[in-house]
Amino acid sequence: MPLLMSSSEVLIHKGGSQSWCGPFFRMLVELSDWFWQERLWFPEGLGWADLEDKDGRVYAKGRDLWAALPIALVFLIIRQIFERTVATPLASLLGVKETVRLKVPHNPSLESYYCKVTKNPTQVTLMTL
């Protein structure tokens, strides 16, 4: 089920002048044709034509996947609301505290050794610094 037109359906620009869109579009069409080859997606003897709706059978379409995007967005919004209204107050009631991360002080001798000598010093070497 190609996303773009097949290479035989690419329209030629009238007037002989082509912009950068023409070759780029043709490249995308050729990439789409290659990606959606029946031999890559189906066992021998089957193809895209076998997935068309017929005889009362309805098959899933690629456009059905677009429904996942709004659903994912709704889940993200629900998660943010849950974290702010339920999880954070519940965690504070249970005594869970946010850990404070300590910053390592700047050490010029270690920095220069790292930059000039090696990025993976041994433990013995670190002790001598």
Cα–chain center distance at 23:
26
pLDDT of res. 2: 47
Residue with tokens 């849950």: 82
Q: What pLDDT was estimated at residue 84?
A: 96
* One-letter amino acid of 45: G
**pLDDT for 12:** 44
Mean pLDDT, the chain cut into blocks of 10 residues (129 residues total): 47 48 86 91 89 86 88 98 96 90 85 82 79
The reported pLDDT for the residue numbered 19 is 59
Instruction: Check if the beta carbon of residue 41 is closer than 8 Å to that of residue 2.
Output: no
Lookup: tokens for 2: 């190609």
pLDDT at 20: 61
Structure pTM? 0.43
What sign has the CA pseudo-torsion 27, 28, 33, 37? positive
Residue boundaries of the structural domains of the chain: 1-59
Instruction: Give 25's contacts (C-beta < 8 A, 6+ positions apart).
Output: 10
Query: What does the DSSP assignment read for the chain?
Result: --SS--GGGPPPPTTS---THHHHHHHHHHHHHHHT-HHHHS-TT--GGGGS-BTTB----GGGGGGHHHHHHHHHHHHHHHIIIIIHHHHHHHT--PPPPPPPPP-HHHHHHHHHT-SS--HHHHHH-
